[in-house]
Amino acid sequence: MMTQWHRQEALCRAYVQAVAAQAGLLWGKTEPDYGVDLSLRWVGIQENRRRDVGVQLDLQLKSTTRAVVTDTEVRYDLDVQTYNDLRDDNCRCPRLLVVLIMPAEEARWLSQTPEELVLRHCAYWISLKGYPPTTAASTVRVAIPLTNAFSVAELTRLMQQAGERKDP
């Protein structure tokens, strides 16, 4: 059996892939991982056929049972190296941190019936581009607004912004 951490990682990837599929996006995983866990690409219609139009979002995926969730935000402790990678102003395509918040009790992470497959709870996104350097040694607390739920509608909006070369 995989470790708990690997199971959390796999469920986070499945969550993002399901949302991307419903939004009509392509997704791909690069191997080996150099700071991007998953890339999402826009499919548009050109010359009367559907094509990859070159609009891309790169995602760093995290999952946790220990984030602090308030009425307005998710507070997540991100490792400094990942923080520095994501705040880089020189990236050619937008990079987002996506954090899946999961119940503390593993038995509640996923449930299934003949009518539905439920993955609990919700993932949230944030762009750290342009954030200030940190003097922290190991982790940086990142505050993600609850309005940044990683949903089909929000992902579609983010891809449209990327296509217009606007930062998230």
Quick check: 12 and 142 in contact, CB under 8 A? no
User: Which amino acid is it at 86?
Assistant: L
Using one digit for the tens of pLDDT, what is the confidence trace for 18-55? 999 999 999 999 888 888 999 999 998 888 999 999 99
Q: What is the pLDDT of residue 58?
A: 97
Quick check: 40 and 47 in contact, CB under 8 A? no
* pLDDT tier at 134, thresholds 50, 70, 90: very high
Instruction: Flag whether pLDDT at 166 surpasses 90.
Output: no
User: Which amino acid is it at 95?
Assistant: R
State in Å, rounded, how far the first CA of the chain is from the last one: 38
The sign of the dihedral angle between the CA atoms of 87, 89, 100, 148 is positive
Assigned CATH for 4-163: 3.40.1350.10
Spans of all domains in the chain: 4-163
Q: What is the pLDDT of residue 57?
A: 97
What mean pLDDT is predicted for residues 141-158?
98
Q: Give CA–CA dist 95/88, Å, rounded.
A: 9
